[in-house]
Structure 1
Amino acid sequence: MRKLTYFVAATLDGFIAEVGGGDPTATGHFLMEGDHMEYLFQNYGDTLPYMARDALGIAGELTRFDTVLEGRKSYESGVAQGIPDAYLHLKHYVFSATLTEAAPTVELVRGDALAKVKELKRQEGLGIYLVGGGALAAELLPEIDEVFVKQHPTVMGKGIPMFNGGFSPDRFELADLKRFDSGVLFLSYQRRG
């Protein structure tokens, strides 16, 4: 069975974007230079938008993920920047009850998000990458197998939390920790049991 990984950058206080949303990398809360970036490029190149992969010369077979899941607000942030599908190298699903159209390369999911994820996990393939946002992460929490946090040494004060909405408490176990001179930590948590 395939694994669903919530692969997300967060501040020390657990926020993934500012209150209004938008591109979280443009706010200065997430460090885009440092030794953690090289590690990310080498080990998690599948998670990078296709433009970054092209610029870095990352090509070839996918190694970790072949599918990406995204909520409406995260998706619309890219569309607003003129990027209707940042993940052309992955099978891309956008979950929304209100969105009526998406790029031809994106599959719009308007129904039961948990049922769709269970269906995707039963299919053959590599891992499934949840890019955001916080509302979709809260909704999909029962099916998340791994939470991979790129924790940045910054505090935002307020914003969109990693899990934004109602959900039942759950527990994960720390499986791996990588420290970088940049101050960024990569934390991998696996679902207990």
Structure 2
Amino acid sequence: MRELVYYVAVSLDGFIAGPQDQFDAFLIEGDHMEGINAEFHDAIPTDIAAHLGIPQSAQRFGTVLMGATTYSMGLPDMPSPYRHLEQIVFTHHPLGTAENLRATDEDPVQVVRALKQQPGADIWLCGGAQLAAQLRDEIDRLVLKRQPLLFGDGVPLFAPGSYAPQRLEHVRTVSFESGVSLTEYARRR
């Protein structure tokens, strides 16, 4: 069965973007990039991967889920940022048409449960905090690219809410000279 993987960059103080939704402080150069890109090449925007000569196979991820704010970060430069994947954007507003892109106002939990029953590669939860909070109980893996920076405020990993504590199992941590670490957790079932 397909898994829902929340794969995201996060600051040391737990933010996936700064106070004005900025994410340009995250390190995109350094020794961490080669290892992360080799494993998570499907999570690189299609045009950027092509420019870098990184092949994308849709073997790790076959579908990417985004909230409207996360999707809009690349507009208008990339109206279909991950067109090598099935892209689903959860929004109440029409987005227009783009390759492999579906906008929906359906319940994210129901969409994910249906996707998990289909054959294919895993489902990547790209962001943001509101969508992650809605899908919290559906997340099978949490893969954090911990960045050596502090925002102080901004978009949290999960939107605030009343949650029952959930314990995740540590799978691995890989540390890089750049100060970035990749940490993976799996849900206890």
TM-score normalised per structure 2: 0.94
Give the share of equivalent positions with the same residue, in percent.
Answer: 39
After superposition, the C-alpha distances for 1:55-100 in whole angstroms (9 at most, x for unaligned) are 1212252221111000010111112x4211110100000011x222
- Residues matched between the structures, number: 187
2:116 alignment partner, SS class: helix
Distance 1:152 1:60, change over 3 A: closer
Match of 1:13 in 2: 13
- Aligned CA-pair RMSD: 1.3
- The match for 1:71 among 67, 89, 94 is 67
1:78 alignment partner, SS class: coil
Work out whether residues 79 and 98 of structure 2, in 8 Å CA contact, stay in contact via their aligned partners in 1: no
1:88 aligns with 2:83: yes
User: Unaligned regions of 5+ residues in structure 1, if any?
Assistant: none
Give matches, 1:1-193, under 5 Å. Answer: 1-22=1-22, 24=23, 26=24, 28=25, 30-59=26-55, 61-79=57-75, 81-96=76-91, 98-105=92-99, 106-169=101-164, 170-193=166-189
Match for 2:150: what amino acid?
A: V
The list of structure 1 runs, each at least 4 consecutive aligned residues, that deviate by more than 6 angstroms after superposition, is none
Work out whether residues 179 and 185 of structure 1, in 8 Å CA contact, stay in contact via their aligned partners in 2: yes
Alpha-carbon distance in 2 for matches of 1:163, 1:111? 20
Match for 1:37: what amino acid?
A: M
Alpha-carbon distance in 1 for matches of 2:80, 2:55? 17
User: Unaligned regions of 5+ residues in structure 2, if any?
Assistant: none
Shift of residue 167 of structure 1? 4.8
Match for 1:50: what amino acid?
A: T
